[in-house]
Amino acid sequence: MLDLRGKRVVVTGGGGFLGSFVVDRLRERGCENVMVPRKREFDLTTTDGVEKMFAAFRPEVIFHLAAVVGGIGANKDNPGSFFYQNAIMGIHLIEAARVHGVEKIIVAGSICSYPKFTPVPFKEEDLWNGYPEETNAPYGVAKKSLLVMCQAYRQQYGTNAIFLMPVNLYGPRDNFDLESSHVIPALIRKAVEARDRGVNELVCWGDGSPTREFLYVEDAAEGLITGAESYNGEDPVNLGSGFEVSIKDLTGIITRLSRFHGSLIWDTSRPNGQPRRMLDTTRAAASFGFRAKMSLEDGLARTIAWYEKNPVSVAAHT
């Protein structure tokens, strides 16, 4: 088991949604040397920025969580930049980890890498059995290329690089900017704002039929850290809750918890995205004992409560 407490740990993306909870959990565990490179000082899409970060922090363990992400609309509008930035950051970091002899690098993948029609529940061995759903394929393929790099570097250089794939995340500190947010924060913001304005209708994308699995952000942080401590395998590992819910049912839960009592209008001119998503989480349980703890309803209630206490201007840029 890797004892992280005495290590110099870098968390890329540590000022973001998932990363901030990973930093919190690491410090709760007694890690005193947790460092977060900020983009304004260290541009990780460049070799100079990565080398500058290594010189400043001399990391022994790296959690690579930095990513350029967004919902269906953002992915459709920015496929090139989503591919390039996500691929190049990981490529530079994994190579630098090899060169500098980093003890371990934990790379966060994405379930967007799975084929569009993967049998449910998604098993890790199905990752290469088709092309990802079109609206987020460039992002998903960029992330999947980093898995190949982790495995290749392990094989050739002995680099201890592990690849963990969290399912769709949600929770406090999420991105509530409607231009780039994912489904849960977008629905929460729309429902709360409609309620407060006295609006009687709420427009939702698609027809509500797709299903998704969601993982509470604090559970995801725990999964990443537990994997860092206890997993040293080459195979990718799903991190999820093992629970599937339709977008229509999810919307009903959010509107009920948000106390919005108007009508829901489904805009079927908008894309649905991938038809179904739910992970097989047995490998995480078997390999390092990870199981999600937060129920969807309790997690949504906590997320709504957090959002109601934070202005949109703050929530959108956390």
Does the residue 181 lie in any domain?
A: no
Domain span at 158: 4-174+214-242+277-294
Does the residue 302 lie in any domain?
A: no
Look up residue 82 and give its two tokens. Answer: 């989503």
Which stretches within 176-244 are classed as H helix? Answer: 183-197, 217-230
Does the residue 36 lie in any domain?
A: yes
According to DSSP, residue 206 is labeled S
Per-residue pLDDT tens for 81-127? 999 999 999 999 999 999 999 999 999 999 999 998 899 999 999 99
Surface-to-core class of residue 240, CB atoms within 10 Å of its CB (0-12 exposed, 13-18 middle, 19+ buried)? buried
Cα angle vertex 277, ends 201, 279, to 5°? 140
Average pLDDT for residues 286-292, to the nearest whole number? 98
Binning pLDDT at 50, 70 and 90, where does residue 313 land? very low
Nearest-angstrom CA–CA distance, 170 and 311: 18
170 included as an active-site residue? no
Average pLDDT for residues 49-78, to the nearest whole number? 89
Look up residue 226 and give its two tokens. Answer: 């537990």
* Set 84, 114, 131, 139: catalytic member: 139
Per-residue pLDDT tens for 255-281? 999 999 999 999 999 888 778 889 999
Question: Domain holding 234: CATH number?
Answer: 3.40.50.720
Does the residue 35 lie in any domain?
A: yes
Does the residue 287 lie in any domain?
A: yes
Does the residue 284 lie in any domain?
A: yes
Does the residue 15 lie in any domain?
A: yes
Look up residue 112 and give its two tokens. Answer: 């967007």
Nearest-angstrom CA–CA distance, 82 and 89: 11
Position 311 scores a pLDDT of 64
Per-residue pLDDT tens for 143-176? 999 999 999 999 999 999 999 999 999 999 999 9
Position 318 scores a pLDDT of 39
- Asked if residue 7 has pLDDT above 80, the reply is yes
Count structural domains, the chain. Answer: 1
- Asked if residue 39 has pLDDT above 70, the reply is yes
Residue 166: which of 69, 248, 257, 61 has the closest Cα?
Answer: 69
Per-residue pLDDT tens for 193-246? 999 999 999 999 899 999 999 999 999 999 999 999 999 999 999 999 999 999
Does the residue 224 lie in any domain?
A: yes
